[in-house]
Amino acid sequence: MERFRLRCTCFSVLLAALGPLDPSLAQTTKGIPLRPPLTSGTVQDNTYQNDSLGLQFTPPPGLRLSAPQLKGKPGTLPLLVTVAAWSLVNGGAVFYADDLGYYPEGRRSTRAYVERVIRTQKEQGLDLVEGETEGHLGGVTFTRIDFHQTLSYEAVLVKACDAYAFVFIFAASDVQSADKLIGETTVKLDLKKSGCGGANPETPQKK
C-alpha cells in the first residue's frame, strides 16, 4: 500500500517537472489550431468526461476517480488538466492532457514529449524498461514507455495530438498487473475534438 502512496507523490512531481526551466521558451501558439478553452471536466459514475478534449475515461474496476484538477493558467507552461484513479490494493491510473500551444514548435511532437517523460522519470529514480512500444486506447495508437523500481512498475502511454499531449500512466506491482489495468481501461476519443485523428509517423512499431 505504501508504494502506491509513494507513486502518487511521484506523479505530482512528474507533472510539476514537465515544464521547461526557462519561461521564455513558451513563445508562440503558431501552428496550433483554434480550440475551445481547456476545462477541468467532470466525473460522474466513475467516468471522467471532458468535452473540451473530446475525451471519456473510465478506469479499471476497483479504482475510484478523484476530482479533476486544472493546473496552470493560459499563457504559462505547463497548462494541463489531470485526473487520477487509485486503489490501495490494485494500483492506479492517471490521465493528463498538456496544452502544447505554449511550447516551441520543435517540442510539440510525441517524440519530444516522450523524451521529456523519460528524462523526468529517470531523475525520480525510475529505470527505463527496454525501448518504446505501441499502446492502444480508444482506437488511437500511443507510444508506450515502461519504468520500474523496487516493488513497483509503471507504464506510460503518450500521444501528442494537434493541440494537446494526451498521457495515461498506469502504476502497478509488475508488468502483468500494469497490462491488466490498461486492458480494463475504457477510453473514448472524439477524433475531431481531440485532434488525434491524424496519423503519427513517430509512433514506434509493435514489438
Tens of pLDDT along the chain (207 residues) come to 444 444 544 454 455 445 443 444 444 545 555 667 889 999 999 999 999 999 999 999 999 999 999 998 766 667 899 999 999 777 999 999 999 887 888 889 999 999 999 999 888 889 999 878 999 998 899 999 999 988 899 999 999 998 899 999 999 999 999 999 999 999 999 998 898 876 444 544 444
Is the pTM of the predicted complex or chain greater than 0.75?
A: yes
pLDDT tens, residue by residue, 127-164:
999 878 999 998 899 999 999 988 899 999 999 998 89
- Domain annotation for the chain: domains and CATH numbers: 2-194 (3.40.1000.10)
Instruction: Please say whether the beta carbons of 97 and 38 come within 8 A.
Output: yes
19, three cell numbers: 515544464
